[in-house]
Amino acid sequence: MIDQIAPADFAKWLTDVATAHPTRQAVLLDVREPHELQSASVGSSTANPAYRLVTIPMSLVPLRLAELNPEQPTACLCHHGVRSMQVARFLASRGFADVVNIAGGIDAWATQVDPSIGWYQG
């Protein structure tokens, strides 16, 4: 079972991760396509050393799995939360023990956390 967190709870998740794993930096894995990243990006509006932003399109995650560390807590993000949930399940099946999905994706992030990142269709 993959936990889902609301974008508004991401900061609390980061705090919980830092408390539970003080030597492990969290990863925010954005699995959207490059053209989607140009439309709206958490990385462009959030400078937070508590996590590292990694962008890998969903279709390339299996090929680029070695770029991710199963020991690092990982939060997956996409446009609405569907693709990122699939990636979170895939990661869990590959031994990632601390993986969550950001419910509602970047669309919910723009509503709950930072409206300046914008919305887009597609």
**What is the CATH number for 33?**
3.40.250.10
The question of whether 78 is a catalytic residue gets the answer yes
pTM: 0.93
Give pLDDT tens digits along the chain (122 positions): 899 999 999 999 999 999 998 888 899 999 999 999 888 888 644 567 788 999 999 999 999 999 999 999 999 999 999 999 999 999 999 999 999 999 999 999 999 998 888 777 76
The per-residue DSSP string of 20-80 comes to H-TT--EEEEE-S-HHHHHH--HHHH---TTEEEEE--GGGTTTTGGGS-TTS-EEEE-SS
Residue 71 lies in a domain: yes
Paired strand residues for 100: 3, 75
Residue 122 lies in a domain: no
Catalytic residue among 78, 102, 103, 106: 78
CA distance 18 to 73: 10
Residue ranges making up the domain that contains 60: 3-117
Domain count, the chain: 1
Residue 85 lies in a domain: yes
Residue 83 lies in a domain: yes
* Pair 31, 84: CB distance under 8 Å: yes
